[in-house]
Structure 1
Amino acid sequence: MEILPATTNDIDEITNVEIRSKMASFPSLVEPHDIDFETRQYRWKTWFAAQSPATSKPQRVLFKAVADNSIIGYIAVHLTTRYEKDAEIQSFYVLKEYQRKGIGTGLLLNAVNWLETQHTKSLCVGIAKNTPYRAFYIKYGGGHLNEHWICWEDVAAIIMS
């Protein structure tokens, strides 16, 4: 397995990983638009073009985890103005069959290293309140901003966790 920066050439595969992960990991929380390929694909096209989300700044990166020439997970981060934080995790998924193998941690640490090159201090991530994945962020020192957002005031602390 290796972790690499993704490009627009990866959009279709990233879209598939997102949809498969949502369906396998928390199917009861998934709405039809969350798994519509064309909708999600368009979202990634606008994200890579720095056109979304509205609170984002142009600086962004998506790291992909690749095994056997296939994307098995990814993390997308960008600089932001949301909640007066410096950066935001836009999207973070690892295929269910690859979870709990250190891949998510590797992706998160790659994102943090990139954020440090951007001189960011704080980070936030939106997450549904009923998912078991909140514990992952808390494990790495995240704190609740509200019921839908977890934040770090110092991204360097993630590496120390």
Structure 2
Amino acid sequence: MEINYRAATNADIAALARLRSEGWGEAQYWMPRITGYLDGTRHPQKALAPRVAFVAMKDDEIIGFIAGHLTTRLDCDGELEWIDVTSKHRRKGIASELVRLLAKWFEEKGARKVCVDPGNEAARKFYASMGAENLDQHWMYWRDISHLSHSL
């Protein structure tokens, strides 16, 4: 199975909303949030410009995506906002590769300390397997996410 990765574009927003809605509500809910996030009109708490999203593609289908931005939240430099992979493509290394791509972007922007809200226990275990530590009872973080980008 060949997977290609690239930066997300505005043409991808509907597919990202559908993918996000697999586990988190309705696509109609996500359309304006993803659009606003990418165009900079929706601001997560303490978010800074710039922000980015990457997609994982199999053939012409988006099967995963990740989004992140610079931040001052929790004394961090960056925040992983969203990551999703279609259920049938999980546990194949796609999410790990998406995290590595985002880590490389953070490194290029000078962001080392990166936080993430895991949202559930499966995500918490995944981030821990990628080297994230508990920041508090709710949040996790990488002290220096740049080490992940070197495995690309």
AA matched with 1:87: G
Match of 1:50 among 14, 25, 40: 40
Distance 1:9 1:127 in 2: 27
**Percent identical across equivalent pairs?**
30
Give the drift of 1:54.
3.3
Distance 2:45 2:116 in 1: 15
Q: Which residue of 2 aligns with 1:105?
A: 96
Give the drift of 1:157.
3.1
Q: How many residues align?
A: 148
Distance 1:42 1:55 in 2: 19
Conserved? CA contact 2:107–2:149, under 8 Å: no
Are 2:151 and 1:149 equivalent residues in the alignment?
Answer: no
Give the drift of 1:122.
0.5
Matches within 5 A, 1:57-72: 57-72=48-63
Deviation string, structure 1 residues 102-144 (Cα, Å, up to 9, x no partner): 111111111111111101111000022x431211110111110
Q: TM-score, normalised by structure 1?
A: 0.86
Unaligned segments of structure 2, at least 5 residues: none
Distance 1:57 1:84 in 2: 13
RMSD of aligned Cα (Å)? 1.5
AA matched with 1:56: A
TM-aligned CA distance change 1:10 to 1:18, over 3 Å: same
AA matched with 1:135: K
Q: TM-score, normalised by structure 2?
A: 0.91
